[in-house]
Amino acid sequence: MSAAPFDFDEEIDRTRVPALKWRPLAGSGPEAELFPAGVADMDFRAAPCIRAAMRRRLDHGVFGYEAVPEGLFPALIDWHAKRHGWHIEPSHILRAPNVLDSLAIAASLFTAPGDGIILQPPVFFDFFDVIAENRREVLLNPLRLEGGRYEMDFEGLARLAARPRAKMLFLCNPHNPVGRVWSRAELARLDEICRRHGVLVVADEIHADIALPGHRFTPFAALGEAAAANAISCISPAKAFNIASCCSAFTIVADRARRRAFQAENSRLTVNKNNAFASVAMEAAWREGGPWLDAAIAYVAGNLALMRARLAEIPGVDLIEPEGTFLAWLDFRALGLAPGALAAFLRERAGWLVSRGEAFGSGGAGFARVNIACTRARLRRALDRLAAAMGGSGARRRPSSS
Ligand SMILES: Cc1ncc(COP(=O)(O)O)c(C=O)c1O
């Protein structure tokens, strides 16, 4: 058998750099029996092609102002056409410093203070902050957990979208934290409701490229021209290629008037500078990173299989099966812990540092979001500690369909 071309089993000491996910472990070294599973990035080294491209750029040695490299937009376009069947017009692409910046600009440009932006919680916590910081109102259309699977509540969505205040919806596709990769049919239904009621869809597709085996990501704007005209798509290779700290993002805006407004706002905020390392990292990712990404997804799927098997033996916790992302949404409601007590329980009893379910809005209490993009050995040890902690808790299993 030939050696695997990429090594995801290597334990890399991320405490040697100011990695956010590992900050609570600073000084304790990589061997500490803690499981840093909060921040959504991977513990894996970036693809060799990305590191080689950045090294070449570093060796050039001159880092003055730069334009967008000629190959970057074609790399973006080819990647999305080949991987997702989404044909992006070059003129529709705008640079952005990061995805949340695009969400914030969209909210400030295309809604007014006091307008409502629809969220479908549990959902990425920063969405709430973006809306509050822009003095807009959150309109909640909670997802429904049915038979262990999250679904959109389309009746609720139609009612909410019909409110005069509802002007925008933040779509999370794939959905952080519950891991749904929304189907074409689901997205088409959402598109129809939003267009019928004049609600602009801001599609955060940062997790686009991490669909787990058996699932297929559909870009919202690829539904068709009408959907694209009513969408602001926010994309970035940050998550899939684990380059969040040295990469930027793109906003795809098909509607000409909105694109001009976006461009003008980017210019007003002077967020149109190009980072040389981000540019080469992104171009290398999209041009040459496919095999690494496929291998990384296969490794994460292997971690998920391990977690699924172990959790099935541990009373008091249920896995919500993710279809995409490297995040597992775990249901600990059977423990019956007081609100807010779960994260402390997991930290003290099992050394797990998780994202608290409550942070993701309504429906999050009693859940934890756990990042499984780590070495298999670390995950295995973490699961052993969880089994020991839960075994001693006296928790009893309840049905998971509530
Ligand atoms: C759904 C989602 N959107 C946006 C972000 C952050 O993106 P950026 O760092 O490009 O602002 C994250 C990071 O976890 C995320 O999960």
Question: Which residue type does 4 have?
Answer: A
pLDDT band at 3 (very low <50, low <70, confident <90, very high): low
Considering only CA atoms, which of 87, 57, 60 is closest in space to residue 74? 87
pLDDT higher than threshold 50 for residue 107? yes
- Token pair, residue 290, equals 């496919």
Which of 99, 173, 176, 217 has most ligand 1 atoms within 8 Å of CB, for mutation? 99
pLDDT band at 29 (very low <50, low <70, confident <90, very high): low
For residue 38, the CA-to-ligand 1 centroid distance in Å is 13
pLDDT band at 396 (very low <50, low <70, confident <90, very high): very low
Task: Considering only residues 3 and 148, tell me which one the structure prediction assigns the higher pLDDT.
Answer: 148
Model confidence over 310-343: pLDDT tens digits? 999 999 999 999 999 999 999 999 999 987 899 9
Of 11-25, 83-97, 249-263, 268-282, where does mean pLDDT reach its minimum? 11-25
Average pLDDT over residues 151-168: 98
Which of 21, 129, 176, 241 has most ligand 1 atoms within 8 Å of CB, for mutation? 176
Model confidence over 263-288: pLDDT tens digits? 999 999 998 889 999 999 999 999 99
SS3 191: helix
Residue 272 has a pLDDT of 80
For residue 99, the CA-to-ligand 1 centroid distance in Å is 6
HSE at residue 361, side-chain half, CA atoms within 13 A, is 21
User: Atom 7 of ligand 1 has which residue's CA nearest to it?
Assistant: 99
Residues with CB under 6 A from ligand 1: 40, 98-100, 124, 172, 176, 204, 206, 236, 238, 244, 249
Model confidence over 206-264: pLDDT tens digits? 999 999 999 999 999 999 999 999 999 999 999 999 999 998 999 999 999 999 999 99
Question: Which residue type does 330 have?
Answer: L
Residue 32 has a pLDDT of 60
Please, which residues have CB within 8 angstroms of residue 343's CB and are 6 or more apart in sequence?
A: 354, 356, 368
pLDDT band at 22 (very low <50, low <70, confident <90, very high): confident
User: Atom 9 of ligand 1 has which residue's CA nearest to it?
Assistant: 98
Residue 252 has a pLDDT of 98
HSE at residue 9, side-chain half, CA atoms within 13 A, is 6
Residue 195 has a pLDDT of 98
Residue 247 has a pLDDT of 87
Please, which residues have CB within 8 angstroms of residue 40's CB and are 6 or more apart in sequence?
A: 176, 239, 325, 326, 327, 371
Model confidence over 127-140: pLDDT tens digits? 999 999 999 999 99
Residue 5 has a pLDDT of 85
For residue 295, the CA-to-ligand 1 centroid distance in Å is 22
For residue 336, the CA-to-ligand 1 centroid distance in Å is 31
Residue 196 has a pLDDT of 98
Which of 123, 126, 217 has most ligand 1 atoms within 8 Å of CB, for mutation? 126
Using CB atoms within 10 A of its CB, is residue 398 exposed (0-12), middle (13-18) or buried (19+)?
middle
DSSP H/E element including 350: helix 341-350
Asked if 314 contacts 320 with a C-beta cutoff of 8 angstroms, the reply is no
Q: Positive or negative CA dihedral for 105, 108, 111, 114?
A: positive
For residue 324, the CA-to-ligand 1 centroid distance in Å is 15
pLDDT band at 402 (very low <50, low <70, confident <90, very high): very low
User: Atom 13 of ligand 1 has which residue's CA nearest to it?
Assistant: 40
For residue 316, the CA-to-ligand 1 centroid distance in Å is 30
pLDDT band at 31 (very low <50, low <70, confident <90, very high): low
**Beta bridge mates, 253:** 232
Please, which residues have CB within 8 angstroms of residue 246's CB and are 6 or more apart in sequence?
A: 54, 275, 277, 278, 281
Give the other-Cβ count within 10 Å of 95's Cβ: 21
Average pLDDT over residues 144-161: 97
Domain range 14-48+290-391, CATH class: alpha beta
For residue 313, the CA-to-ligand 1 centroid distance in Å is 33
63-288 carries CATH number 3.30.70.1060: no
Mean pLDDT, rounded, of the chain: 94
Kindly list the domain boundaries of the chain, sorted by start residue.
Answer: 14-48+290-391, 63-288
For residue 206, the CA-to-ligand 1 centroid distance in Å is 6
Residue 4 has a pLDDT of 66
* Residues 238, 205: Cα–Cα separation, whole Å: 11
* Residues 40, 369: Cα–Cα separation, whole Å: 10
Which of 21, 41, 100, 241 has most ligand 1 atoms within 8 Å of CB, for mutation? 100
Residue 27 has a pLDDT of 65
DSSP H/E element including 318: strand 318-320
Residue matched to tokens 């689901």: 186
- Ligand 1 atom closest to the Cα of residue 238 is 10
For residue 390, the CA-to-ligand 1 centroid distance in Å is 31
Residues in the chain: 402
Model confidence over 288-302: pLDDT tens digits? 999 999 999 999 999
Q: What's 252's DSSP letter?
A: E
- Ligand 1 atom closest to the Cα of residue 100 is 11
pLDDT higher than threshold 80 for residue 2? no
For residue 236, the CA-to-ligand 1 centroid distance in Å is 9
pLDDT higher than threshold 50 for residue 395? no
Cα torsion 251, 255, 256, 261 to 10°: value is: -60
Evaluate whether 14-48+290-391 and 63-288 have a shared fold: no
pLDDT higher than threshold 70 for residue 30? no
